[in-house]
Amino acid sequence: MGNNLDIFPVRVGVYENKNTEIHKNLLGAILESEKNSESRALSNVGGFQSDDIDPSITKDFCDGFLFEAVSNYLADGLCQPPFNIFMDSMWSNINYKGCYNTTHDHSFADFSFVYYLKAPKNSGSIVFEHPSPTITHNSFFFYGWRRHGTPANCIAYEISPKEKNCVIFPAFLRHSVTPNLTRNKRISVAGNLTVRMT
């Protein structure tokens, strides 16, 4: 008998915000910015993406939910406290019907997140790509996972959005968002974090 080692695991965390008031207030602020601001274009194809959000607008969300979720994510096998979490940037994404986000990563950050404010069914999933750029050269992983797909053997992994859920992941992990197939808006905030161990 031998021992198996998962030597390069990539952890993605999903955490639910139970505070309805924080959720509602953030959603209101994002809808207000959509009305009063122009969209920028980065990975988004169509839709609305805000400039970086003023930290005063997101303080309750960060202090009341996000930083605790990130702390739990980090403490579960990535690093033990004490550590400090710093918000580098946060912005909103609103995808209308047919809008999506192309594959990208968040260079120069440690971790990234997306939090779903409105997520109708079929409004666009986040799809993570395997971090190895050459995995598609391997026939076992390229073809085999389609029959017996697991997080350990897939070349891409899809997570459907759910309102009040936050997905946290290493910033180097390339990802995209599939098109919104509904007539309803898919609304989220996303951001980048730096972590310093003390």
**Average pLDDT rounded to a whole number, residues 60-84:** 95
For residue 58, what pLDDT is reported? Answer: 96
Any idea what the Cα angle at residue 19 is, between residues 13 and 22, rounded to 5°? Answer: 100
Q: Which residues contact 73 (CB under 8 A, 6 or more apart)?
A: 11, 13, 15, 111, 168
Q: Is residue 116, in this structure, part of any structural domain at all?
A: yes
Is the pLDDT reported for residue 1 higher than 90? Answer: no
Q: Is residue 46, in this structure, part of any structural domain at all?
A: yes
Q: What is the domain count for the chain?
A: 1
Q: Is residue 60, in this structure, part of any structural domain at all?
A: yes
Tally of residues, the chain: 198
- Which candidate, 113, 98, 117, 92, places its Cα nearest to that of 42? 92
Strands (E) located in 96-174: 100-104, 111-118, 126-129, 156-159, 165-170
Q: Is residue 137, in this structure, part of any structural domain at all?
A: no
Three-class SS state of 36: helix
Separation of alpha carbons 187 and 163, rounded Å = 9
Q: Is residue 23, in this structure, part of any structural domain at all?
A: yes
The domain in which residue 59 lies consists of 13-125+160-197
For residue 60, what pLDDT is reported? Answer: 97
For residue 145, what pLDDT is reported? Answer: 64
For 86-133, the pLDDT digits (tens) are 999 999 999 999 999 999 999 899 999 999 999 999 999 999 999 998
Q: Is residue 3, in this structure, part of any structural domain at all?
A: no
For 143-186, the pLDDT digits (tens) are 766 667 788 888 889 999 999 999 999 999 999 999 999 999 99
Q: Is residue 182, in this structure, part of any structural domain at all?
A: yes
**Average pLDDT rounded to a whole number, residues 36-62:** 93
Q: Are 116 and 18 a contacting pair, CB within 8 Å?
A: no
- Which candidate, 42, 175, 170, places its Cα nearest to that of 104? 175
pTM (predicted TM-score): 0.94
Q: Which residues contact 132 (CB under 8 A, 6 or more apart)?
A: none
Q: Is residue 78, in this structure, part of any structural domain at all?
A: yes
Q: Mean pLDDT over all residues of the chain?
A: 93
State the CATH number of the domain containing residue 96. Answer: 2.60.120.620
**Average pLDDT rounded to a whole number, residues 39-58:** 93
